[in-house]
Homo-oligomer: A and B are copies of this chain.
Amino acid sequence: MATIYEVSKLAGVSLATVSRVMNNNTPVKESTRRKVLDAMAQLDYRPNSIAQSLASNRSNSIGVLVSELHGPFYGAMLTGIEAEFRAAGKHVIITAGHSDLATEQDGIDFLQSRNCDALILHVEAVSDDYLLQLAAGDTPFVLLNRHIPAIADRCISLNNELGGYLATRHLLQQGHRQIAYIAGPMWKTDARDRYHGHQRALAEYQLTADPALFFEGDFRETGGSKGLESLLQSGKTFSALVCANDEMASGAITAARELGLNIPQQLSVMGYDNVNFAYYTYPKLSTIDYPISAMGQMAARWVLREVYQQESNEVQQLFEPVLISRDSVLAAT
């Protein structure tokens, strides 16, 4: 592999000049530039990005920490992020935090030790304080799907409370009054926010959430199926169910069918996220749209703007959920 030194020799100029034409940040005489470019082509020269990083203190790499690498939600998010950076010639180092405190902190350490220019974090276990402290350090970062007022300028988030409200209000508007709820893990902010929205909608109809109709799931299919079974066993009747995400809704629907319940005739079900497969469940899932891919893209743009000074991009930080009405909800009889 040719080095800048060989290029400079072949072109008959100094190292510095070669560097200048590469980075074209300093004027170089056209004829000199040509000589250098020719030499580069002739040697099939590729700059060593490691050496560039060491000298310039810039790695052109962005660390991304997500809870999981699989699942429709994270997939869409990563796609949004990678596409934006790829186009900008930056690259992404991806690691998983598994919603676990130690693993998340570890992941952040790991990414920092790789000299990332910036971090995009989708963290759940780590505390606000920890992040505040991280913000005092000198690795810039954006938070995805989390809102911390003190560093609101680094947060890209969805109004989850509103989404929770919309889901339940939809059911109420369809005449349902006994509404069960399968939540995400309640230590997660988004799970709590969604549930608060649920409560607010109920309150508007002079209703309160019945603890017997509440189940805390895990945001995964099995959480939905177990949740439904448990709710049914409570003995309380309910005509509608809201699940805090689509995966649990899918699990709940499958479990309901196995128990001989007709969806939506005997039970209306709402999901949340509008992940790709929501259209392909049976019945098609009514849900709340979470524009996670766009939000990932915005996180990338934030970095491009704040860290790499690419002013061109508009960055939207606050997103609003939208109700998607499909076939899993029926008016109450």
Q: How many copies does the complex hold?
A: 2
Q: Does A17 contact B (CB under 8 A)?
A: no
Q: Does A37 contact B (CB under 8 A)?
A: no
- The answer, among B51, B110, B277, for a CB contact under 8 Å with A54, is B51
- Measured CB to CB, the nearest residue on chain B to A107 is B86
Chain B contacts for A93, CB-based, 8 A: 61, 91-94
Q: How far is the CB of A57 from chain B (nearest CB, A)?
A: 9
Q: Does A49 contact B (CB under 8 A)?
A: yes
Interface size on A, as a range, is 35 or more
Chain B contacts for A59, CB-based, 8 A: 50
Interface-lining segment among A111-119, A143-151, A187-195, A307-315: A111-119
Bound-state CA distance A72–B275 (Å) is: 12
Bound-state CA distance A115–B94 (Å) is: 17
Q: Does A95 contact B (CB under 8 A)?
A: yes
Interface-lining segment among A27-35, A165-173, A278-286: A278-286
Chain B contacts for A75, CB-based, 8 A: 68-71, 74-75
Chain A residues close to B by CB (< 8 Å): 46-51, 53-54, 59, 61, 68-72, 74-76, 78-79, 82-83, 86, 91-96, 110, 112-115, 221, 250-251, 253-254, 257, 276-277, 279-282, 284
- Show 5 A/B contacts (Cβ-Cβ < 8 Å), sorted by A: A50-B59, A61-B114, A86-B95, A93-B94, A277-B277
